[in-house]
């Protein structure tokens, strides 16, 4: 069931994605991303599904990018933390997740050109972060190799 937010032009999206519990038996959509729903990182968006996540089915690649970075921003600012329940295993309910997304989509109001620029910058920063992480791993492997040579 698609949910329509009562949004004006210049807002995040006129249609919200289909938000549902991820089912590994269903085929994956090209324009979907996933959001962790269990653990202390509940609300964190992911490119690939895990066993404990929500699926966000978007209408196209731009819609996906906009909503992915919106969810990332909400997760980074700990906007989902108030809604996390459970003592032994913390979790975020789908209904609480939807409430936050709808509330934020209805309140964000800035022009599409600025939003697309911000999404592009976030994508580039994410790519740079991935490259940096790979470089750090290579440096760690090299250091370990040097230590092994020293111990021979």
Claim to verify: residue 71 and residue 45 sit in the same structural domain: yes
Q: Are 13 and 110 a contacting pair, CB within 8 Å?
A: no
91 and 33 in a single domain? The answer is: yes
| pLDDT (tens digit per residue) in 11-67 | 444 467 888 999 888 877 788 999 999 998 999 999 999 888 999 999 888 888 888
Tell me the CATH number at 76.
3.90.220
CB-based contact 7:13 (threshold 8 Å):
yes
One domain, residues 26 and 83: yes
Closest by CA to 68, choosing from 93, 99, 35, is 35
Examine the domain organization and report whether 84 and 142 are in the same domain: no
Say yes or no: 93 and 117 in one domain: no
CB within 8 Å of 78: residues ≥ 6 apart: none
User: If we measure between CA atoms, which residue out of 13, 74, 3 comes closest to residue 41?
Assistant: 74
**pLDDT value for 136:** 96
The pLDDT value recorded for residue 69 is 86
105 with 120, same domain: the answer is no
- Beta strand extents in the chain (DSSP E only): 18-21, 32-36, 45-46, 53-57
- CB-based contact 146:44 (threshold 8 Å): no
Structure tokens given for 127: 């790519």
Domain count for the chain, please give it. Answer: 2
State residue 4's pLDDT score: 40
Domain boundaries, position 39: 1-109
The pLDDT tens digits for 78-124 are 999 999 998 899 999 999 999 999 888 877 765 667 777 777 888 89
- What pLDDT, on the 0 to 100 scale, is given for residue 116? 75
Say yes or no: 55 and 126 in one domain: no
Is 104 in the same domain as 122? no
Is residue 105 located within the same domain as residue 80?
A: yes
Rg (CA), the chain: 19
Global pTM value:
0.70
Per-residue tokens: 8: 């004006």
Return the closest-CA partner of residue 12 out of 108, 76, 118, 79. 108
Position 132 confidence tier, pLDDT thresholds 50, 70, 90: very high
Name the residue among 51, 45, 94, 53 with its Cα closest to residue 74: 45
* Whether residue 125 sits in one domain with residue 146: yes
* 127 and 57 fall within a common domain: no
């Amino acid at each position: 069931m698609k949910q329509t937010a009562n949004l004006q032009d210049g807002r995040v999206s006129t249609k919200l994605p289909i938000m549902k519990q991820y089912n590994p038996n269903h085929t994956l959509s090209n324009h979907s991303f996933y959001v962790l729903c269990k653990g202390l990182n509940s609300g964190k968006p992911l490119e690939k599904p895990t066993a404990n996540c929500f699926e966000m089915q978007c209408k196209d690649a731009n819609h996906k990018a906009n909503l992915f970075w919106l969810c990332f921003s909400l997760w980074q600012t700990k906007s989902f933390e108030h809604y996390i329940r459970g003592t032994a295993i913390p979790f975020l309910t789908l209904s609480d997740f939807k409430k936050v997304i709808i509330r934020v989509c209805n309140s964000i109001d800035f022009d599409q050109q600025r939003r697309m620029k911000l999404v592009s910058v976030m994508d580039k920063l994410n790519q740079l972060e991935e490259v940096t992480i790979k470089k750090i791993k290579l440096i760690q492997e090299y250091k370990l190799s040097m230590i092994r040579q020293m111990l021979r």
